[in-house]
Amino acid sequence: MSAAKKANSNRDDYLRMYRQMVRIRAFEDNANQLYLSAKMPGLTHMYSGQEAVAVGICEALTCDDKITSTHRGHGHCVAKGANFKEMFCELLGKEEGYCRGKGGSMHIADQANGNLGANAIVGGSMGIATGAALSARRLGKTDVTVCFFGDGATAQGLMYEVMNMAALWRLPVIYACENNGYSEYTRTDEIAAGSITARAEAFGIESHQVDGQDVLAVNKLATDLVARARKGEGPFFIELMTYRYHGHHVGDINREYYRPKDEEAEWKSNRDPIANFGKWLEDQKIVTNDELVSINKDIKAQAEEAVAYAEKAAYPSVNEVDMHVFASSAA
Amino acid sequence: MSAAKKANSNRDDYLRMYRQMVRIRAFEDNANQLYLSAKMPGLTHMYSGQEAVAVGICEALTCDDKITSTHRGHGHCVAKGANFKEMFCELLGKEEGYCRGKGGSMHIADQANGNLGANAIVGGSMGIATGAALSARRLGKTDVTVCFFGDGATAQGLMYEVMNMAALWRLPVIYACENNGYSEYTRTDEIAAGSITARAEAFGIESHQVDGQDVLAVNKLATDLVARARKGEGPFFIELMTYRYHGHHVGDINREYYRPKDEEAEWKSNRDPIANFGKWLEDQKIVTNDELVSINKDIKAQAEEAVAYAEKAAYPSVNEVDMHVFASSAA
Amino acid sequence: MREITLSKAVNEAIAEEMRRDPSIFVIGEDVAEAGTPFKVLSGLVEEFGTERIIDTPIAEPGFMGIAVGAAMTGSRPIVDLMFGDFLYLVMDQLCNQAAKTHYMSGGKLNVPLVLRTNLGATRRSAAQHSQSLHALVAHIPGLKVAMPSSAYEAKGLMKTAIRDNNPVVIFEDKLMYQDKAPVPEEEYFIPFGVANVLREGTDITLVATSSMVQVALKAADILAAEGMSAEVIDPRTIVPLDEDTILKSVRKTSRAIVIDEGHQSYGITGEIASRISEKAFYHLDAPVQRMGAMDVPVPFSPALEDVTVPTEQTVAERARLAIRGDLFHAA
Amino acid sequence: MREITLSKAVNEAIAEEMRRDPSIFVIGEDVAEAGTPFKVLSGLVEEFGTERIIDTPIAEPGFMGIAVGAAMTGSRPIVDLMFGDFLYLVMDQLCNQAAKTHYMSGGKLNVPLVLRTNLGATRRSAAQHSQSLHALVAHIPGLKVAMPSSAYEAKGLMKTAIRDNNPVVIFEDKLMYQDKAPVPEEEYFIPFGVANVLREGTDITLVATSSMVQVALKAADILAAEGMSAEVIDPRTIVPLDEDTILKSVRKTSRAIVIDEGHQSYGITGEIASRISEKAFYHLDAPVQRMGAMDVPVPFSPALEDVTVPTEQTVAERARLAIRGDLFHAA
Ligand SMILES: Cc1ncc(C[n+]2csc(CCOP(=O)(O)OP(=O)(O)O)c2C)c(N)n1
Ligand SMILES: Cc1ncc(C[n+]2csc(CCOP(=O)(O)OP(=O)(O)O)c2C)c(N)n1
Ligand SMILES: [Mg+2]
Ligand SMILES: [Mg+2]
């Protein structure tokens, strides 16, 4: 959706944002269920609680704009336009998955929608995002790239290397730091000295901090920065204050040793991005509660249908194991 | 020398600083000559012009304090207490060199004087210096470590990784960035966005900029920061504005395509750290011109003698080639 | 004898050594309260405190560099690298710095550190969390490389590693952390460079590392049931490599297969197989076979992943061919 | 035919391809005005401008990552890595990202990039500027590895590399930049995976890479003078490896030596020797010999450095032993 269109936000836009957030939550609830019922291979990291970040930002992007994602990437993937079926198939290692089952949860890519892929190396996509921005500019495209990463990833030196180049070369890239307060089992203040936004500012990069639970605030800021980046005023840095509802990964159940239960309760009951936005939509008389309930129900059904489909879908043939090591190289 | 002693600076201190700067210059003039007359294997990077940095800082350190050095490391090595003979032997690959000829110019280490070694990986010693500081603190020592590096090295992500940890853990380390305006054949403003000191400050590290041609200014700041680091108030960051007189390395003769001749002339004639300090010493009536001339002459003779010695010294025996791959490990 | 898990064995080895030597500390991500994601270090922070069990930000190059500097200055760090796949991030500090410092300094500086990390696929962890990268470090002079194949081995090798005065990389098998084996209560060490003959046999030698030792033993059972007798050898350390034990065995059996979970091409099987072929050439009745992981990134899908690594069936099948002489005539 | 230097050959290959395809750009340190420290890229910035010949800060992981992202989005970057020793710094972006992206995405994303770097000792550049690290990248599935042995090879392989749709690493020999060889004016390509038989012979096969090809040819001269006939084969690319040509030769000569400038242990000689031993076992009259660089960090001292690499004399001596049958009986 174009920036111009976003500026004049309207009922459709609001509803799409709401729907996309609900879709992410529904996806994650099902993924978590698949894990708990031992139907999912490996493990996965839930995006629940952070929906307003992915949706607020991705709704400010066109389909051609690029994103890079993380180990906690389902939210970015859904928000950038992916379908449930191919996503669940990928999570279960099935042939119809976005990556033919080869990538799995931590490597879902959906290049048709501009998602260059999740990454299991913390901070590993920061160069990729910056390079996509350089590529777009060099090839005369107007694409903007958003690099999603967590607060923990700010400890990776790569970030400073690429911010320096992005700033020197004024690249159309937006660094979106999802500060959910923890990296694995460690509080952010134990691993991040000083100020995260000041680090970007030191490279001359305009930086913002925003409430990551408020989809409209996120979307407004993102819309503005995307438009400016498109005009060559980038790069930008955003720190989005948010929270993850689940453990670090689906198996991280007992977390009281690093995170108090009442902190979790506080975020879930008072700062839920979906509930709060839904309430606002009702308060503004943009939708009725019945409409919201019916949206939620529809999406839940779609997710369950996709899960059922994926469970029945076929695994890739064993012959695929050594396919795709190299791309063919017609000169 | 203790910080207390430095504060009460006196003639001996001044003269030692002057001598150490002249020793560095004499060392480099001879090293350059060895290269030009094809007597030196490989190539080397001259420290000439930056003497006040190494000397101003190292004179604020005790012998037990540690430094890490760079590819442009002869100055740090001399300033931290090394001898000419072992240094020239090392440059010529002789057995009597500090590293038995195995390291060469880019890897001279002199652990007896607390020099943990030069490093041919730009930025490669930033972790080492930070680790030395952690080690000292853990082992209950009061050593401070100074990490020397160039402006170009600020582009290496490693710096931000270790500054973050140094700041979180309040380590007794001082990051000393020698900004000589160039990295290889590129001006600093082309490769460094924003502000170098602001980058350290963003991690909550107190940062200073100082005239790197003024040995007294450097020494005063260093003395203060070393004392504070020893008390647990570190880490600190210093940006020292300086200039290299020679090319990037001894073979970099034609450099007008990246650096104007008059810029070089300006620094050499008006901002030379040795000449200016000498002049100040005379003006303050601390020494006479005759005394300075005789110091210069003595040092020149010592350098030449060391060169002659090194030229005649023996190469290591070929049997040494596979010695020192592993240290012996008595349990 | 009591049986403990590999995880517990590593934990005990570190705890025992830390009690003995206060210069040892552990550094890495989530090593303290969390005791690492695999819980291998649980309980250590309670005994040794956060000054000796040091949680870091997600900055592998940074804390690896810090460990090198600490090791050069009297400490004996144990670096915890959460996944072997992150080795790529620490290669410069490990291979340019830690591995070379003793040699470059002509034997003056030591770097006594242990890097503990892991290897192993078939956990559905996908391409960036499943690699077995020991070949990369084995290639670099100055590094020792240990590959424990059981809880007993893990404890004995870890204790030897900690007392070694060189950088040692230990690869634990992720899938083996919960596997139990008899481990004596009394202190013991397993020397480096002494292979372990786990099973004697006369028809073929199976040289297997780490995770593949169990595979080789099971293959030997299959073969035994068919009347063929396999000798199984675990080199324990690949640097240094106990060539003599392997050669002695092959001179007896006249046939060998080298089995390893790293990618086959340009991996460690080539080195071990070549040494056998060079030095026991006259004794060989069949070409030395190599069985590594397939030369493909590790796929996520269980349907694909399981075929990428050697199994007891594939090993037994190759052994049959060798013993029957089928390989000999094909080559 | 005209003769040009290897340096000029690389320059021409890149210039020709850049004229044809605007999506190609060069990125690295001091590649523009300086044309790299080895001057290989001189003149390119004058023709293609700084938008296509991009000078970077000293941030190898950063610009490697940027290249990966650019390659994923329609550009074809050529990354200039000044010294092969800096590979350690880019390993994560090269091996976890570039090498695996095509596979992890199930074939949807391509990473067409060339990483040009170098290898080779005996330049007195010491341990961190003299390594030959091609074995490390050859081990990682998804990377192609080319090793030109002359100006002719360098041009033809570079042009093929640039048109390849995969990440390709090219190792040039630092000592060969000024070596001239006949290079046609007309466009030509050297296909990957096709070895070059430089000299035919009947008594022994010398498989040699890069810098060692000249050594092998000279050894063949020495042997010829003594009445022994050596066949010399240059694999050109080690991934993919042209096994067939090598095996065909060894089946004819019955003897082989593999010569390479990387460290011998766990390097590429083991792989090539093993494949010969596995697949031409029946034909071998002597164990396949391997000659790599010594397993020591590269020493600075000329007295030591020169003995670390194979020479025509040492190769000829080993060949003599093999041909006389002395090795056979010793093993
Ligand atoms: C380079 C690297 N180091 C460590 C890990 C292990 N790891 C996976 S997620 C994670 C925490 C990331 O924290 P953050 O960036 O804040 O993202 P969040 O999980 O909170 O979304 C760690 C340490 C990794 N995958 N990659
Ligand atoms: C990691 C790494 N990248 C590149 C180089 C090549 N190189 C050697 S010195 C140098 C410039 C360093 O500039 P700076 O840090 O400002 O130090 P100066 O030479 O000015 O003292 C470069 C790029 C290197 N040695 N190491
Ligand atoms: Mg986080
Ligand atoms: Mg500089």
Quick one: three-class SS letters along A249-260? CCCCCCCCCCCC
Q: Does the pTM exceed 0.95? A: yes
**With 60 as the cut, is the pLDDT of residue C255 above it?**
yes
Q: How far is CA A326 from CA D73, D103, D239, in A?
A: 17, 7, 11
Residue A65: predicted pLDDT:
98
**With 80 as the cut, is the pLDDT of residue C329 above it?**
no
- Here the tokens at position D210 are 């890069």
Q: What's the rounded mean pLDDT across residues C285-299? A: 97
Q: Which residues have any ligand 1 atom within 6 Å of their CB?
A: A 71-72, 120-122, 149-153, 180, 182-184, 248; C 29, 58, 60, 82, 86, 89
How many Å apart are CA D136 and CA A305, to the nearest integer? 46
Helix (H) or strand (E) holding A150: strand A145-150
Taking each helix axis from N to C terminus, what angle separates B157-169 and C60-72, rounded to the nearest 10 degrees? Answer: 70
Which residues are paired to A150 by β-bridges?
A: A178
3-state secondary structure C235-277: CCEEECCCHHHHHHHHHHHCCEEEEEEEECCCCHHHHHHHHHH
Catalytic residue among C12, C17, C29, C60: C60
Radius of gyration of chain B (CA): 19
Measured from the Cα of C92, ligand 2's closest atom is 1
Catalytic residue among C12, C17, C129, C271: C129
When pLDDT is cut at 50, 70 and 90, the band that residue C330 belongs to is low
Inter-chain CB proximity B156 and D129 less than 8 Å: no
Residue B331: predicted pLDDT:
46
Inter-chain CB proximity A135 and D73 less than 8 Å: yes
Which residues are paired to A183 by β-bridges?
A: A186
- The domain spans of chain B are 3-314
Inter-chain CB proximity A202 and B202 less than 8 Å: yes
Q: Which residues from C are below 8 Å from A when comparing CB atoms?
A: 29-30, 33-34, 37, 55-59, 61-62, 85-86, 89, 123-129, 294-297, 299-304, 307-308
Ligand nearest D55 Cα, by number?
Answer: 2
Residues in contact with B298: Cβ distance below 8 Å, sequence separation at least 6, in sequence order? none
3-state secondary structure B199-258: HHHCCCCEEEEEECCCHHHHHHHHHHHHHHHHCCCCCEEEEEECCCCCCCCCCCCCCCCC
Helix (H) or strand (E) holding A262: helix A261-270
CA dihedral for B103, B106, B107, B108, sign (positive or negative):
positive
Residue D330: predicted pLDDT:
62
Instruction: Find where tokens 């002719």 sit.
Output: D152
How many Å apart are CA D138 and CA A234, to the nearest integer? 38
Distance from CA of B27 to the nearest CA of C (A): 21
Q: What's the rounded mean pLDDT across residues C189-198? A: 98
The per-residue pLDDT for range D10-30, each reduced to its tens digit, is 999 999 999 999 999 999 999
CA of A150 to the centre of ligand 3 (A): 5
Fold classification of A3-314 is: Rossmann fold (3.40.50)
Task: Please say whether the beta carbons of D265 and C135 come within 8 A.
Answer: no
Which residues are paired to C170 by β-bridges?
A: C116, C146
In order along its 331 residues, chain A shows pLDDT tens digits of: 444 444 445 899 999 999 999 999 999 999 999 999 999 999 999 999 999 999 999 999 999 999 999 999 999 999 999 999 999 999 999 999 999 999 999 999 999 999 999 999 999 999 999 999 999 999 999 999 999 999 999 999 999 999 999 999 999 999 999 999 999 999 999 999 999 999 999 999 999 999 999 999 999 999 999 999 999 999 999 999 999 999 999 999 999 999 999 999 999 999 999 999 999 999 999 999 999 999 999 999 999 999 999 999 999 999 999 999 999 985 4
CA of B236 to the centre of ligand 2 (A): 23
- For β-strands B66-68 and C289-293, DSSP reports them as unpaired
Residue D11: predicted pLDDT:
98
Task: Please say whether the beta carbons of B182 and B258 come within 8 A.
Answer: yes
Residue D329: predicted pLDDT:
58
Helix, strand and coil content of chain A, in percent to the nearest 5, comes to 50, 10, 40
Identical fold for domains C3-182 and C196-326, yes or no, is yes
DSSP track, A29-82:
HHHHHHHHTT-SSS-----TT-HHHHHHHHTTS-SSSEEE--SS-HHHHHHTT-
CA dihedral C302, C308, C311, C317 (to 10 degrees): 130
How many Å apart are CA C50 and CA C34, to the nearest integer? 12
For residue B64, the 8-state DSSP code is: S
Put simply, whether B23 touches C (Cβ < 8 Å) is no
Q: Which of D61, D62, D304 sits opposite B320 (nearest CB)?
A: D304
Query: Would you say the ipTM is above 0.90?
Result: yes
Which residues are paired to A207 by β-bridges?
A: A237
How many Å apart are CA D254 and CA B30, to the nearest integer? 56
The yes/no answer on whether domain C196-326 falls in CATH 3.40.50.920 is yes
- The domain spans of chain C are 3-182, 196-326
Inter-chain CB proximity B42 and D294 less than 8 Å: no
Nearest of A111, A2, A145 to residue A62 by alpha carbon: A2
- For β-strands D289-293 and C3-5, DSSP reports them as unpaired
Q: Taking CA atoms, what residue in B is nearest to A235?
A: B193
Q: What's the rounded mean pLDDT across residues D260-270? A: 98
Nearest of A4, A136, A18, A6 to residue A67 by alpha carbon: A136
The yes/no answer on whether domain D3-182 falls in CATH 3.40.50.2000 is no
How many Å apart are CA D317 and CA D64, to the nearest integer? 42
For residue A181, the 8-state DSSP code is: S
How many Å apart are CA A29 and CA A32, to the nearest integer? 5
Residues written for chain A: 331
Instruction: Find where tokens 């305006």 sit.
Output: B181
- Write the single-letter amino acid at C178: Q
Task: Please say whether the beta carbons of B88 and B313 come within 8 A.
Answer: no
Residues in contact with C220: Cβ distance below 8 Å, sequence separation at least 6, in sequence order? C199, C201, C206, C230, C232
Residues written for chain C: 331
Distance of CA B119 to the CA centre of its chain: 12
How many Å apart are CA A58 and CA A69, to the nearest integer? 12
The per-residue pLDDT for range D158-173, each reduced to its tens digit, is 999 999 999 999 999 9
Distance from CA of B124 to the nearest CA of C (A): 7
CA dihedral D232, D236, D241, D243 (to 10 degrees): -20
Distance from CA of B128 to the nearest CA of A (A): 16
When pLDDT is cut at 50, 70 and 90, the band that residue D192 belongs to is very high
Give burial (CB, 10 Å; 0-12/13-18/19+) of B243: buried
Chunked into runs of 10 residues, chain B (331 residues) has average pLDDT values of 49 97 98 96 96 98 98 98 98 98 98 98 98 98 98 98 98 98 96 98 98 98 98 98 97 94 97 98 96 98 98 98 92 46
The per-residue pLDDT for range D201-234, each reduced to its tens digit, is 999 999 999 999 999 999 999 999 999 999 999 9
Residues in contact with B295: Cβ distance below 8 Å, sequence separation at least 6, in sequence order? B15, B18, B19, B22
